[in-house]
Amino acid sequence: MVAVAVAGAGCLCACGNTAEDCFERALKGNARFALPNGRVKSAYTASYPVFLVNPEIVAARPGDQSLSLHFFLTAAREAFLQAGISPQLLQKKRVGVIVGTSVDASFNCFNVYENWRLHSPNPHDKEYLVRYFNSSTAAAVSRYFGFTGPFQTIVTACASGTDAVGLAKNWIINNVCDVVLCGGTDEINLIPYDGFIRLLIASKDRCRPFSQDRNGINIGEGAGALLLVNKKLEQEFHLTPKGYVLGYGNACDAYHPTAPDPEAKGLKKALCFALKEAAVSSKELAFVNAHGTASQANDAAEAVAFKELLPQVPVWGSKGVTGHTLGAAGAVEAVLTLLALQHHTLPATTGFTTLDPAIGFSPSTQTTSLTKNVAVSNSLAFGGCNAALVLSTEDIHG
Amino acid sequence: MVEFYINGFSSFQGDISTDQLTAYFEARRLRRMEAIAKNALFCSCQALEQAGLSISEPKELALSVAVGAGSLESTCKFMDSIINDGDELSSPTAFAGSVHNATGLTLSMFLNLHGPCVTTGQFDFSFAGALLTAQQFLKSGQTQEALVVVAEDINPVASEYASQEPALFAPVLRCPQGPFVRAAAAFVLSAKPTEHTLYQINRLEFTRTKNPVIETATVATAAWNALETARFMQHEKSFILTDSFACATLLIEGNAYVKP
């Protein structure tokens, strides 16, 4: 078992502009939940609210960056600041970048496409496309900081952020890099906004994870960034780890395009491998940060896996304060999981109302103190992809 | 030092017909399948067969998929449905198919894959990321074998604009000199040699280049470096692929496997 140190972490989403801010507001259940007027042009904007990042941060986007890239760079700068290391000091190191996203890697340029379809191209459309092809998220992040290591944009839908952190851990363990800047990012965009509504899994109300009366997801936006370092670099720069990635597992359902396997076979396999790699048993876990989208199928499938593999482990669903940030979700939740462990405090699951007998347990219903220092964060994605991380505030086997 | 072994591979440019896939699957299962998924599936079947692996039996091998920009056919269909019919009648099926890992889902369902599955999407260097991912799963011990699949769709807007203005995307996207074409490639990797091993890869390096290399396009699409790797393995006993383009360099060094 090799624990990979997290030297620093940053986060922004609808419940805060920094990681600490997000956690404090998560404890209170506060978030910017509003109709996306002005951000998305859709017939649904009067009825389907979303979780939005602070408009001041949105407005600060430089003209040559996508919003997703701007979000990630903001979170990454916080991660470097927290680590106490400047990106400039790492120029001669092998620094890799892995970023998970959905929107930022998609051909979602609706206006450009519509202009092309209607044979009325805007003079700026070609310029936009050149920028799009030149701005693959991870490459753009690497270019911004001047790194020369490998880069990878993960697009495994809503598991992308978790995969990015897990694969970054492996890049460190297998000596691909000295440092990996990893995480996920996504922004509100017409395509997923309309798409989730049309799939009938979006809610007009604030989401209610694991509740009997849950009726769908709210999409959100944001970014989570973690700076993973190897032991040598940790010692060279006298870094104080803020946490550790102990294990990562991934497995696919091979079941359905948009629904998880109701028996959760893939999720169970991902959880088992992550725990095995971390050399941790379920009894050592403080809590599990569930994917908890508040869709009927997702929460039911997770419940099957948790009851079998993580019995008695408290469950926290954080999407009631972040919304479903798609490709960013796994990274945002990994940062929130580490913060909960650092603060020895498990927040209540915002939005939870009533026990669902079919689920058979309630998620966290009030703020409670934690005595253990290891937790799991997992993600499920369209396409049947499941991924799980084991995180800790200590190198428990070190 | 050997990074990994290759036990089967397949590649091609163009579009696979449904008839070519009915050798492996019932025709009714192939209805409405997108071209990018058909291409990926056909290459995968050929690579698995060459590697001596069953197509229909459940398998735990890792699936690492590389796409240029995802399933563009579905993405455009979804946008078309918004333009033609409005948000409230837009196609949920097209939205589900537009997700980047839709190709990975098709492969996992048709090939009965139950191991790890990750999709990488970064235009010309998706193959580099997918190879790295497969290598990490092999090294982690979660799986002993991996299927790396590259599947590139056509971007109709970029294709048309590039045909009008050939140099438009040249610094950032490897464009063909003629119309854009679809392409796919598949490779079966293993951590240890098997009785089917064909090639061993001794070096895999992927780095970002500070000074962008500008290269006029010659052959195909974002699958170019995967097609080149397959071509080398088809015809050469050893090769070094150095793909330095736009903002990155991919280096793959390998030789034909000789049983000890």
Q: Is this prediction's pTM over 0.95? A: yes
- From the list B20, B158, B49, the residue with the least C-alpha distance to A109 is B158
Domain that holds residue B94: 4-256
Pairing of strands A179-186, A95-100: parallel
Largest interatomic CA distance in chain A? 63
Tokens of B21: 């896939």
CA A328 to chain centre: 4
Q: How far is A241 from chain B (nearest CA, A)?
A: 23
Question: Given this model, what pLDDT does residue B220 score?
Answer: 44
User: Does the beta-carbon distance from B161 to A129 stay under 8 Å?
Assistant: yes
Query: Which of A113, A176, A253 faces B79 most closely, judged by CB atoms?
Result: A113
User: Does the beta-carbon distance from A257 to B75 stay under 8 Å?
Assistant: no
Burial (Cβ within 10 Å: 0-12, 13-18, ≥19) of residue A63: exposed
Q: What angle do CA A197, A202, A203 make, to 5 degrees?
A: 125
CA distance linking residue A373 with residue B206, whole number of Å = 36
User: Does the beta-carbon distance from A170 to B140 stay under 8 Å?
Assistant: yes
CA atoms within 13 A on the CB side of A391: 31
Number of domain units in chain B = 1
CA distance linking residue B45 with residue A254, whole number of Å = 16
Q: Which residues of B touch A257 (CB under 8 A)?
A: 96-97, 99, 102, 105
Helix axes B35-50, B72-85, angle to 10 degrees: 160
Question: Given this model, what pLDDT does residue B217 score?
Answer: 45
Q: How far is A140 from chain B (nearest CA, A)?
A: 9
What are the residues facing A10 on neighbouring strands?
A: A225
Going residue by residue through chain A (398 aa), what tens digit of pLDDT does each one get? Answer: 899 999 999 999 999 999 999 999 999 999 999 999 999 999 999 999 999 999 999 999 999 899 999 999 999 999 999 999 999 999 999 999 999 999 988 888 899 999 999 998 888 999 888 888 888 899 999 999 999 999 999 999 999 999 999 999 999 999 999 999 999 999 999 999 999 999 999 999 999 999 999 999 999 999 999 999 999 999 999 999 999 999 999 999 999 988 999 999 999 999 999 999 999 999 999 999 999 999 999 999 999 999 999 999 999 999 999 999 999 999 999 999 999 999 999 999 999 999 999 999 999 999 999 999 999 999 999 989 999 999 999 998 87
User: Does the beta-carbon distance from A155 to B158 stay under 8 Å?
Assistant: no
The CATH number linked to B82 is 3.40.47.10
Burial A151-184 (b: 16+ CB within 10 A, else e): bbbbbbbbbbbbbbbbbbbbbbbeebbbbbbbbb
Tokens of B114: 């139950």
Report whether A333 contacts A379 (CB < 8 A).
yes
Q: Chunked in runs of 10, what are the mean pLDDT values of chain B (260 residues)?
A: 96 92 95 93 98 96 93 95 98 94 95 97 92 96 95 90 83 73 95 98 91 51 85 93 84 94
Which residues of A are tagged catalytic? Answer: 158, 291, 324
The sign one gets for the Cα dihedral B153, B154, B156, B161 is positive
Query: Which of B90, B99, B120 faces A154 most closely, judged by CB atoms?
Result: B120
Size of interface A-B (CB pairs under 8 A): 233
- From the list A232, A229, A237, A206, the residue with the least C-alpha distance to A219 is A206
What is the tens place of the pLDDT at every residue in A325-348?
Answer: 999 999 999 999 999 999 999 999
Report the chain B residue with the minimal C-alpha distance to residue A107. B69
What is the tens place of the pLDDT at every residue in A176-229?
Answer: 999 999 999 999 999 999 999 999 999 999 999 999 999 999 999 999 999 999
User: Does the beta-carbon distance from B173 to A198 stay under 8 Å?
Assistant: no
In chain A, the domains with their CATH numbers are: 4-392 (3.40.47.10)
